[in-house]
Amino acid sequence: MVQPAAAPDFSFSPERSGRHMSQLQHGEPGLARWERATERHAHPRSRTHSDNSEATSSTHSAAYLSLSTESHNYTMQEFALNHFRKPQTLLDQTHGDAKKAMASLVQYTKAPIQESLISLSDEDANRQAVESFQVLMQFMQDQPKPRGKNESELLYELLRLCREENLRDEIYCQVIKQVTGHPQQEHCARGWSFLSLLAGFFPPSTTLMPYVTKFLQDSGPSQELAQKSQEHLQHTVKYGGRRRLPSPAEIQAFLKGQAVRPLLIHLPGGLDYKTSIQTFTVSMGLLRKKGWRRWESCGIGTAPPPKSPAPPWPCLCAQVAAEVLEELCRQIGITDPQEMQEFALFLIKKEGELVRPLWPHEYLNSVLDQDVSLHSRRLSWETQLHFDHPTYVTTHYKQVLRDYLQGKLLVSPQANAQLARLAALQHRSQTQEDRLSEQDLLAYLPKPLQRLVSTSTIKNLMEQELKWMQACSSQEAQISFIEAVSQLPLFGYTVYVVLRVSQLALPGPSLLGLNRQHLILMDPSSQKLYCSVALKDLQRLHLLSPLESNGPPGLELNYGSADNPRTIWFELVKAQELKHTIAFLKDSGTASN
């Protein structure tokens, strides 16, 4: 039996359709919000800001680089004129002198600020703004570090302050100010490296965004890190930015110049795919290697640096699950974006303690640690299968074979000819000799059927099948096996074993099949369909804890309409995985529609 647990729920409502329902914030897509920002010259985030700040995915995010400049020049001076505090000395000057004084507000200063650059109504935010500027100067080595603090602690402190939404615009303005016209190239380089890192974590407000974009565009031809910052900002807009601060190990890797980390993805059947994921930005170690000390000046309005050689590393944007999955799909011969969306990366923590699919816009650097492994498998089977790549064939074969042998693709124990043919195809796919014992045969049969079938009968039929398959290659046998099991009940579903269901007296464990449209419950012996729930009708998922100390948990589903609400719960060992997978499939199904 199960009872309610204090676990996070997934709630689904119409306005949340097509987005991550529980863990991600919901706002306008980045491009739409920025287009809206160009139509109004509003207060930036750092005032009494209540904007939904975190930009979410936009398939056309690159379009922000061509912002209209008809009504504004989008220079930082223009932004400062509208949103910075106005010193009294500035108000007392003539127009020409005031313009020069205004320009100084967005240029390097060797003195720490005494109040925020942007007019902040909150005193606590103003205090934090002064603190962030001091930490920035310490990180850029314009001020001495406090005793006992190292570079990584300063960098972490800056990013921690940026978690406060009402400070992000302020900190963007502070670092832009300090890299503009900075007289010391190495110190300037450190400021640019932080700006590049900041752009990969947090976006500025919709008001400040066009000014930051223009600043990076104008800096780009002579400032390699400005180009990197643009790439990181595009990445942040497309995928929403990092939601967790980097670990101490990741910060140390950044400071030491360790730009990549290896990544191993486990595929069905024991196959492994090895790749690398990259850190957020150009590391401090790489900056030193690239000769920044030769620069005579940094920032807008100063002499450009000598042209440096092409960077010896690839684009160092942090990779999200969708990017790694696309890379993996292309390696096995998948080029159709629709088919790519039918695959998922699963995160397995420790020994199956947590199993869940990664959302496409999750940053892998935020979820990977020593206790985590990544596994890839196909979750949906709606697009036409094609067998034009050997690894494509093998990975699909291994996945459906595993489900078949576990008894998740239903075959009647009386279907001797069918069982014999599927056994023969498995045998031929391994290029084994035709002779085998009845004991060997058991390895080719679904585990739940091994005591229910006549192995001698199936063995005789299998030997006949093998004679007809003598000219069949290993890969042809795998393809034929996939095509044969694709006709079985529950093919195309992710299948879970359910022990108990509310309001139903089950004769024994049943099979729950899940795809992007619905979930179904079926008796494995009679293949009788007990119930079906459309995912579009789901309203809420709630994890239930077991009543017995060693019992399995459960999952409660609320579905139906307001006029006809319904509830059902399932008791199963993999209740938590089922909860996450339902939410993932419902979201991806809504998005694809």
Measured in whole angstroms, the distance separating CA 40 from the mean position of its chain's CA atoms is 32
Residue 420, pLDDT score: 96
Q: Please list, in sequence order, all residues whose beta carbon lies within 8 angstroms of the beta carbon of residue 254, skipping any fewer than 6 positions away.
A: 155, 197, 246, 279, 280, 281, 283, 284
Q: What pLDDT is stored for residue 97 in this prediction?
A: 63
pLDDT of residue 76: 92
pLDDT in tens, the chain (593 residues): 555 544 446 776 544 444 343 333 333 333 333 334 334 444 555 444 433 333 333 433 433 343 333 446 899 988 998 899 876 555 555 555 666 677 788 999 999 999 999 988 889 999 999 999 999 999 999 999 998 889 999 999 999 999 888 999 999 999 999 999 999 999 999 999 899 889 988 999 999 999 999 999 988 666 778 888 888 898 888 888 887 888 787 888 777 777 677 889 999 988 899 988 876 544 444 444 444 333 333 443 333 333 333 332 233 344 789 999 999 999 999 999 999 999 999 999 887 778 999 999 888 888 887 788 999 999 999 999 999 999 999 999 999 999 999 999 999 999 999 999 999 999 999 866 667 778 889 999 999 999 999 999 999 999 999 999 988 999 999 999 999 999 999 999 999 999 999 978 888 899 999 999 999 999 998 889 999 999 999 999 999 999 788 899 999 999 998 899 999 999 999 999 999 999 999 988 665 55
Q: 510-514 and 529-534: which strand pairing?
A: unpaired
Contact 46, 169 (CB under 8 A): yes
pTM: 0.75
Residue 277: predicted pLDDT: 82
E runs forming strands in 257-328: 260-266, 272-278
CA-nearest of 111, 145, 146, 148 to 130 is 111
* CA atoms of 368 and 435, how far apart (whole Å): 46
Residue 542: what are its φ and ψ, rounded to 5°? -140, 125
Tokens of 517: 């449209």
Q: Please give the structure tokens belonging to residue 42.
A: 């509003």
CA–CA distance, 465 with 434 (Å, rounded to integer): 10
Closest CA to 526 of 511, 546, 543, 515: 511
Q: Name which of 480, 456, 457 is nearest 468 in CA terms.
A: 480
Q: Report which residue type is found at 248.
A: P
Please provide the DSSP assignment of 559-588 as one string. EE-SSSEEEEEEE-TTHHHHHHHHHHHHHH
Cα–Cα distance, 124 to 357 (Å, whole number): 40
Alpha carbon distance 571, 51 (integer Å): 42
Quote the crossing angle between the two packed helices 165-179 and 185-201, to the nearest 10°: 150
Please give the Cα distance from 251 to 254 (Å, whole number). Answer: 5
- Strand arrangement of the beta sheet that strand 494-498 belongs to: 494-498, 510-514, 518-522, 529-534
SS3 of the chain: helix, strand, coil, percent, to 5: 45, 15, 40
Classify residue 272 by its DSSP letter.
E
Please list, in sequence order, all residues whose beta carbon lies within 8 angstroms of the beta carbon of residue 358, skipping any fewer than 6 positions away: 321, 344, 345, 346, 347, 364, 367, 374
Rg (Cα) of the chain, in Å, rounded? 29
Residue 578 dihedral angles phi and psi, to the nearest 5°:
-60, -40
